[in-house]
């Protein structure tokens, strides 16, 4: 089981449906960008698919028992919460909790996953630092490393690039794309259409409670769709390093 399947999926917030009867199949090896304007239901879709919110219709993930789901999918919430002043390494090690049985101590395999997550997010120098004393962007990277350390076949991240500097945004997207190439399924909501166009193998655009478009970025992110859904004009071109999409004005 290494994909996400939503069938006739609806989520209500208050009296009205935020998402209505949508179906979606995501498989291993895909790096999927979940796009849409504010309030389109990106976070709602991911939380409900994970079973963290009540929903109607089928989700292959929320159907799993809790313990198994934790070994299948790692989730990075949008709210960057670090409640206690623990060290960076301790925080990242929390990602191994789903793999530890009662009373089990983290073993060599767990340490390897933690070390790999630390090096992929470039956090070697921060290992012993207190997480709550880091800057917002650094905390975000620590929390992404926590999700990576969970080492699951699926990774769902809510606006992972928010608050990161340009270099770390690019590094992060390269890490996520590499995860997908290694056979995992990556689903991330994002607002930076340029990053989505360059690094995602597929984008899903949410709009008005349903899926407005779904497919490879080059086919989906057309001037017509950008104007209709995002109400922007954009400069779209093919550069030497891949596609370039730069919003230039509001429609």
Partner 1 sequence: MTRALLPLLGVTVAVLFAASLMIGPAGLAPVQALSALIRGDALAETLVMREIRLPRAILAVLVGAALGLAGAALQGYLRNPLAEPGLIGVSGSAALGAVLALQSGFAALHVLALPGAALLGAVLAVLVILALAGPRGGSITLILAGIAVSALAGALTSLVLNLSPNPFAASEIVFWMMGSLQDRSMTHVWLAVPFIALGAMVLLAQGRKFDALTLGEDAAASMGVHLGRLRLALVLGVASMVGAATAVAGAIGFVGLVVPHILRPLVGAQPSRLLPASALGGAVLVLMADIAVRVILPTRDLKLGVLTAIVGAPLFLHLIYKTRAQGL
User: How many residues in the shown chain lie near partner 1 by CB under 8 A?
Assistant: 32
Interface of this chain with partner 1, residues 193 to 222, rule: CB under 8 A: none
**Do 238 and 218 form a contact (C-beta atoms < 8 A)?**
no
* Residue 75 makes contact with partner 1 by CB under 8 A: yes
The residue whose two tokens read 């399924």 is: 185
Task: Work out whether 1 is an interface residue with partner 1 (CB under 8 A).
Answer: no
105 binds partner 1, rule: CB under 8 A: no
Residue 100 touches partner 1, criterion: CB under 8 A: yes
Q: How far is the CB of 86 from partner 1 (least distance, A)?
A: 5
Q: Which span (10-18, 71-79, 105-113, 118-126) binds partner 1, by CB under 8 A?
A: 71-79
Cβ distance to partner 1 smaller for residue 87 or 171: 87
> Cα separations (Å) of 198 from 69, 87, 154, 221, 241?
30, 34, 21, 11, 8
Question: Of 26-65, which residues contact partner 1 (CB under 8 A)?
Answer: 47, 50, 52
CA distance 218 to 8: 27
Applying CB under 8 A, which residues contact partner 1? Answer: 47, 50, 52, 66-67, 69-71, 73-77, 79, 81-87, 90-91, 94-95, 97-98, 100, 132, 143, 146, 150
């Amino acid at each position: 089981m290494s994909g996400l399947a939503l069938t006739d999926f609806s989520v209500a917030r208050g009296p009205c449906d935020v998402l209505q009867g949508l179906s979606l199949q995501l498989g291993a090896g895909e790096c999927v960008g979940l796009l849409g304007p504010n309030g389109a239901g990106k976070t709602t879709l991911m939380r409900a698919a994970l079973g963290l919110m009540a929903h109607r219709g089928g989700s292959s993930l929320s159907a799993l028992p809790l313990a198994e789901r934790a070994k299948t999918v790692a989730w990075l919430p949008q709210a960057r919460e670090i409640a206690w002043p623990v060290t960076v390494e301790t925080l990242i090690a929390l990602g191994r909790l789903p793999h530890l049985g009662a009373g089990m101590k983290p073993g060599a395999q767990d340490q390897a996953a933690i070390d790999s997550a630390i090096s992929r997010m470039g956090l070697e120098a921060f290992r012993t630092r207190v997480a709550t004393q880091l800057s917002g962007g650094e905390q975000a990277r620590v929390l992404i490393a926590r999700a990576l350390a969970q080492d699951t076949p699926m990774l769902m991240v809510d606006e992972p690039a928010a608050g990161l500097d340009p270099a770390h945004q690019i590094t992060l997207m390269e890490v996520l794309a590499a995860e997908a190439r290694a056979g995992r399924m990556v689903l991330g909501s994002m607002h930076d259409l340029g990053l989505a166009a360059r690094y995602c193998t597929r984008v899903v655009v949410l709009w008005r409670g349903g899926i407005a478009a779904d497919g490879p970025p080059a086919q989906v992110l057309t001037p017509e769709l950008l104007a209709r859904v995002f109400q922007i004009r954009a400069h779209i071109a093919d550069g030497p390093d891949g596609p370039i999409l730069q919003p230039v004005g509001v429609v």
